[in-house]
A and B are shown apart, each in its own frame.
Chain A
Amino acid sequence: MAAIRLNYDVPGDDFTRAGEASADLKARMKKLGMPSEGLRRAAIALYEGEINLAIHAGGGQILVELGPDKVEMTLTDQGPGIADIGLAMSEGYSTAPDEVRSLGFGAGMGLPNMKRYSDDFEIESELGKGTRVFMRVNF
């Protein structure tokens, strides 16, 4: 099976639509009969990334490359960037504003979940320019 490439645009501040990419990926992987554990890990990792694009970056782009034994996901945004990646990666750290906290976000667990559920995780960020996250989940 050749890799399938999927592109998603995540709008900023629309927490209802954020989740569409991960739901779509999950549905496609299910249809292709991919292993349920890999499917679950990829969907969780992508959802957290998608929500971060919507909440923290004013939106962004997602590229998914789905192969027979792995899925690679690259999330790019042109948001404010992250000053201290080590701090942002630590469990419980969050700058989420009150209005999104009241929706249940802001536990500061998104990035740690993304790292935990992927086999390879890379994040790079430049203040004022944006952030890029790469995740690979092996099946």
Chain B
Amino acid sequence: MTTDKLAAVPPFEPVVLAESREITEVYCADLLSWAMGRAPEGCCWCTVMGNVNAVAVASLADVAAIVLCDGAALDAEAEAKARQQGVNILRCALPVFEAGLAAARAAGLYGL
């Protein structure tokens, strides 16, 4: 499933839609250098970190999208950077695990 398709599946909502990407995995973490080292390329990264540094990590680690979970806010600077660097950002109110599960189900990953 692509990022723009996932953004249209409730409970997900689009925040920043850049170039659409195929979602190959789901990854959950909040500590930035943990995500930097372990997030697979092309994953949808479920996190509560909505700051400019998370956007930098997403761009450099080449994730398909950030999924901001648990209603976490994206700050204005981060949103501007995401638009500039072409980072997809979705949002949902579910906690990180449930959001990851919902994304995996929607994308038909891990045999779900």
Contacts and interface: CB of A to CB of B under 8 A. Distances in A.
State whether these chains interact.
yes
A19 B30 contact: no
A104 B85 contact: no
Contacts of B51: 103-104
A109 B32 CA distance: 9
Interface in B55-79: 56-57, 59-62, 77
Given A109-B37, A112-B37, A104 B56 contact: no
Interface string A21-65: 011001000000000100010011001100100000000000000
Contact of A47 (B30, B52, B57, B85): B57
Interface residues of A, number: 25
A109 B34 contact: yes
Q: Is chain B's binding surface mostly helix, strand, loop or mixed?
A: helix
B1 interface: no
A112 B31 CA distance: 14
Contacts of A47: 36, 56-57, 60
B54 interface: yes
B34 A19 contact: no
A44 B61 contact: yes
B60 A109 contact: no
A44 B32 CA distance: 11
Task: Output the residue of B37, B51, B61 with the most chain A CB within 10 A.
Answer: B37
11 contacts: A16-B77, A19-B53, A22-B60, A23-B60, A40-B61, A44-B37, A103-B32, A103-B51, A104-B30, A104-B51, A105-B32
Given A44-B37, A104-B32, A107-B31, 14 more contacts: A19-B60, A22-B60, A23-B59, A23-B85, A40-B60, A43-B60, A47-B56, A104-B49, A104-B51, A104-B54, A105-B33, A109-B36, A109-B37, A110-B33
Interface of A: 15-16, 19, 22-23, 26, 36, 40, 43-44, 47-48, 51, 103-110, 112-113, 116-117
